[in-house]
Structure 1
Amino acid sequence: MSDIQSPRPAPPSDKELVLKVIPMPADTNGNGDIFGGWVMAQVDLAGSVIPARIVNGRMATVAVNQFIFKQPVRVGDILSFFGAITRIGRTSITVQIEVFAERFRSQGEYVKVTEASLTYVAIDDNGKPRPIEDR
């Protein structure tokens, strides 16, 4: 049996909704599904939302620790990106992102399509790592 998940009735309650977006035909690959690079870019944007509140200044993505495409994303899906901080270091913050799709014809039913872990680092005006200020 494959690792494909059946629809979930609701998204995770232990993470914050940080982004919602609908992919369009211009975002497709040669197979007609949404291009993985497009999904990765959206995950990076979603992943930066929570750390931006803490860093209070410039930051940069320094690592994509894990990225798993669980199911294809299709044109017209409503994608919901949920995030939570998993680690705060001296200069960096690691975030876990889960992406759920509400299929165009099955809205209200959520299917996990992607999950990822990304690390962001606080940087100064010269692009050098800087300590994250007291929270």
Structure 2
Amino acid sequence: MSEMGWEKYTELPIDESFDYGTRFAVSDTFGSENVRMSVFRFDPGERGPRHYHNPPGEEYYLILDGKLDIHMEDEIVEAGPGTILYTPSNKEHYPENTYDEPAYLLSVSAPKIPPGSEEGITIVEDVEDV
């Protein structure tokens, strides 16, 4: 069982296994067993892969700072600080920074995806393919 704890996300280890953005490994740090929580930094021009979560997976995004375009199926949401977005299983989505400043995104998904893994996720279009 995981222990309770606290940290500033900017002081957490960076997960080097991701080839997009900068991932601060929140749930890995605390040993969460059921939920993956990450903070991503996307610099201008960066984006995540177009993907969906296989059932029963689902994901929430919360924009912490800056602005991102969140692609949700055929819709693009211009999301700024405080915007919360939800994607259920089998719905394609990805974040993209088309703005001039870095942006920080909190991602919470369940069930937990193992660290450094894309198990439970289907990549439709990888970052390198864009």
TM bucket (normalised to shorter chain) is: under 0.3
TM-score (norm 2): 0.24
TM-score (norm 1): 0.23
Larger Cα-atom Rg: 1
Task: Give the helix-richer structure, 1 or 2.
Answer: 1
